[in-house]
Amino acid sequence: MMMAYKAQAEIISPSAGQARSFDPYDGETVRERLSSHLRREVDASFEIGPLRRYTVGFSWVTYGFRATWRENGRSVERDLILRAGPPRGIFAPYRASPEFTALGALAGSGVPVPRVYWFSDDSAAIGAPFFVCDLVPGEAPIPWTRDGGPAFDDARREGLGGQFVAALAALHRFKWEGTPAAAIGGSMDATRAAIGEVTRWAGLLAMGSPRRIPMLEIAARWLRRNAPSARRISIVHGDYRIGNFLEAEGRITAILDWELVHLGDPAEDVGWICLQAWRGRSPYMCHFFTREELRDRYALLSGIEMSLADMAYWEAFGAYKLAVMHFGAVHCFEERGFDDLRMAGMGLQIPRVLLQVESAMERAA
Amino acid sequence: MNMSLDRLLEAMMATLRTDVIPHVGDPYARGQAIGVVDLLNNIGARIEWARAPIAEAVEEKRRLLREAGVALPAARDEPVAGTTADLLAQRDQLDMLICEKLESLSARDDAHARQALACLCQHAHDELTLQMQFVRKPLFAEIASGGGADRSSGR
C-alpha cells in the first residue's frame, strides 16, 4: 500500500514554469487546469466532472468531483476530493506533501483516512499546491451550535467519542520511524518539541503581524519557561477536534484536515481538544468528554499516560496557536487581498481569543 | 482589533458582487443585495472607527508606561491627538514599548520587577475586557454550515 502511493506521488513531480494565479471561486478554471495536469501526468483520457466547493475549512480550499481514468488497462470511476492551499491563504505558501505523505503512511492503520492519489507542492499545475484523495461519505459535526449548547445527545456522545479518542490513540501509537512520514517535519527531539512549536508559531505571528501583542508575548514567554519534555514523539495531527472528522451512521469514517500534521509531542493534540473554542458552553471537551475522561480513555487506548497538568500546558499552547491563526487570518485578509469574509470575522473575535489564552495559561500555571 | 475600514468595505462589496449576487435567483432579492453594495460604496468616505475608545487606550498605555518608569518619546507625552489612524499607530508603538518592558522585567527576579510585571499583565487583561464590549457572538455555526444545520456535508 505504501509503495503504491509513493509510486503515484512520484508521477507528479514539481514542474518548472511560472504559476498562474489561483481563484478558488473560479471552479471551472480550476477544473480545466487539474484536468490537463492529470491528463499529462496520469492518463491522457482523464475526465473530471464539475467541481463543487465545500463551505468547510478556513485555509485550504476543498472541492468534490467525479473522475474517470484508465489504470492498468481498466477504466476507473471515482468520487474524489481536491484540496488546494490558496497562495493568499492564512499561512501561505503551503505545501501539500506533508499531508499527502502522512495520509499515505497511515493508510491501513487504525486511523480512518481517505486514500490519497496525487499531489503537487508546485503552484504551476493549478495555481496552488494540491492533493487529490477519495471522497469519504459522511458529514462533519461542527463545534459551534446555534444556541451554544451540546452538539450530541448522550448516546452519540458516547459512541462517537469512543471512536474519536480511539483514532487519536492509534495515530499516536503509529510507528512512523522508517516510513515516509518520518519526513513530514516537526521535532524528533522529545526535550525540544514544545519549545520548537512555540518558536514556530511565534515566528508565524511575526510573519503575519508587525504589531507586538502584549498578551501573546506574555503567553509565549510562559510557554517557553514551562515547556515540558515529551514522553514520546508521535505523528501529531495539529488540528484534531470536532469539525475535522466525518461521521456516517454513527461511525467516524475519516479524520480530515491534516494540513498542520508534524512530528511532535502527542499531548499537543490532546490539549488542542480541550480548547474552549471547540465546545461552546458544553462542559465536554469537543462536546465529548470531561478532561479527566479524556485523559483516562486516551491512556487506556494509547498506553501514553498524561497528567492534567500536561494537558493544561498544551491547552494553553493551543489557545496561543489559535490566537496566532486569528492574526494570520487578519493578515491574509488585509495585506494579501484574500476576500474570504470569515477571515475578517476571525479578526473581530481576537479580544475573546486572547482572553482565552490568558485563562488557559492561568489554569495551567 | 481595528482592521482597515476601507479594506472591510471593499471585501464586503467584492464578496457580494462575485460570490453572492450571481447566485441569487430572485430579482427583488438581487436588487436588494446590489442596494447593499451601493450603501457600502457610499458610507466608506463618511465613517471611521470610534475614536474615543482608541484615545482612551492610548492614554492608559502612556500612564502605565510612565508608572513603569519608561521614558516616552516626546511626541508620546503630549495630549492625545490626531486622526484615528494616528491614534492606532500610537497605540501600536506604545504596545511595542510595553512588550519591551515586559521583556526586561521578565529577565529580573526581584519584588519590584514582579510587581511591575503584574501591572503590565493586568493592563493586558483589562484592555481586552474593555474591548469585549464591542465583540458580538460569532455566527460560526451558520457560516460553517452554509446557513443550514449544525454540520457540514461529506467530503
User: Cβ separation of A351 and B96 shorter than 8 Å?
Assistant: no
User: Cβ separation of A243 and B144 shorter than 8 Å?
Assistant: yes
Across the interface, which of B11, B98, B129 has its CB nearest the CB of A214? B98
What per-residue confidence (pLDDT) applies to A22? Answer: 85
Ranges of H-type helices in chain A: 2-11, 27-41, 97-106, 154-173, 193-208, 214-225, 267-273, 291-302, 308-334, 341-348, 350-364
Across the interface, which of A54, A339, A354 has its CB nearest the CB of B152? A54
Select from A119, A116, A85, A94 the least CA-distant residue to A103: A116
Q: Show residues of chain B in contact with A138, CB under 8 Å.
A: 154
pLDDT at B117 over 50: yes
- Residues forming a β-bridge with A71: A74
Cβ within 8 Å of residue B64, ≥6 positions away = B98, B119, B120, B123
Across the interface, which of A56, A64, A344 has its CB nearest the CB of B8? A344
Tell me if chain A has a CB within 8 Å of the CB of B145.
yes
| Average pLDDT value over all residues in chain A | 91
Tell me if chain B has a CB within 8 Å of the CB of A249.
no
Spans of chain A, pLDDT less than 50: 1-18
Q: Show residues of chain B in contact with A143, CB under 8 Å.
A: 140
List the domain boundaries for chain B.
Answer: 1-47, 51-132
Distance from CA of A149 to the nearest CA of B (A): 11
What per-residue confidence (pLDDT) applies to A7? Answer: 32
Taking only residues 61 to 120 of chain B, the set having a beta carbon closer than 8 angstroms to any beta carbon of chain A reads 92, 95-96, 98-99, 102-103, 106, 120
Tell me if chain B has a CB within 8 Å of the CB of A212.
yes
Tell me if chain A has a CB within 8 Å of the CB of B1.
yes
Tell me if chain B has a CB within 8 Å of the CB of A151.
yes
The kind and range of the H/E element at B51 are helix B51-67
Alpha-carbon torsion A237, A238, A241, A243, what sign? Answer: negative
Around Cβ B51, how many Cβ atoms within 10 Å? 14
Confidence of residue B75 (pLDDT cuts 50, 70, 90): low
Query: The C-alpha cell of B63 is what?
Result: 500612564
Contact A270, A255 (CB under 8 A): no
State how far the Cα of B64 lies from the Cα of B66, in Å rounded to an integer: 6
Distances (CA, A) of A355 to A29, A309, A352, A364, B132: 42, 20, 5, 14, 9
Q: Show residues of chain B in contact with A256, CB under 8 Å.
A: 155
User: Cβ separation of A55 and B144 shorter than 8 Å?
Assistant: yes
What pLDDT digit, counting tens, does each position of A88-144 carry? 888 888 999 999 999 999 999 999 999 999 999 999 999 999 999 999 999 999 888
pTM of the model: 0.91
Select from A17, A246, A231, A19 the least CA-distant residue to A138: A246
Note the Cα A206 to chain centre separation in Å. Answer: 21
What per-residue confidence (pLDDT) applies to A11? Answer: 33
Closest residue, chain A, to B137 (C-alpha) = A349
Closest residue, chain A, to B6 (C-alpha) = A334
Across the interface, which of A140, A142, A218 has its CB nearest the CB of B124? A218
Q: In one letter, which amino acid is B124? A: A
What per-residue confidence (pLDDT) applies to B2? Answer: 77
Buried b (16+ CB within 10 A) or exposed e, A132-166: bbbbbbbbbbbbbbeeeebbbeeebbeebbebbbb
User: Cβ separation of B124 and A341 shorter than 8 Å?
Assistant: no
Tell me if chain B has a CB within 8 Å of the CB of A74.
no
User: Cβ separation of B3 and A333 shorter than 8 Å?
Assistant: yes
What per-residue confidence (pLDDT) applies to B76? Answer: 59
User: Cβ separation of B141 and A145 shorter than 8 Å?
Assistant: yes
What per-residue confidence (pLDDT) applies to B109? Answer: 87
Place of cell 491547552: A315
> Mean pLDDT throughout B52-66?
94
3-state SS record for A167-224: HHHHHHHCCCCCCHHHHCCECCCCCCHHHHHHHHHHHHHHHHCCCCCHHHHHHHHHHH
User: Cβ separation of A142 and B131 shorter than 8 Å?
Assistant: no
**ipTM > 0.95 (yes/no):** no
Q: Show residues of chain B in contact with A358, CB under 8 Å.
A: 124-125, 128
* DSSP 3-state of A109: coil
Across the interface, which of A55, A215, A344 has its CB nearest the CB of B124? A215
What per-residue confidence (pLDDT) applies to A260? Answer: 96
Q: In one letter, which amino acid is B111? A: A
User: Cβ separation of B151 and A140 shorter than 8 Å?
Assistant: yes
Tell me if chain A has a CB within 8 Å of the CB of B23.
no
Confidence of residue B148 (pLDDT cuts 50, 70, 90): low
φ and ψ of A75, to 5 deg: -80, 135
Q: In chain A, how long is the greatest CA-to-CA distance? A: 62
> Mean pLDDT throughout B91-117?
94
Contact A106, A113 (CB under 8 A): yes
Closest residue, chain B, to A83 (C-alpha) = B155
φ and ψ of A85, to 5 deg: -95, 100
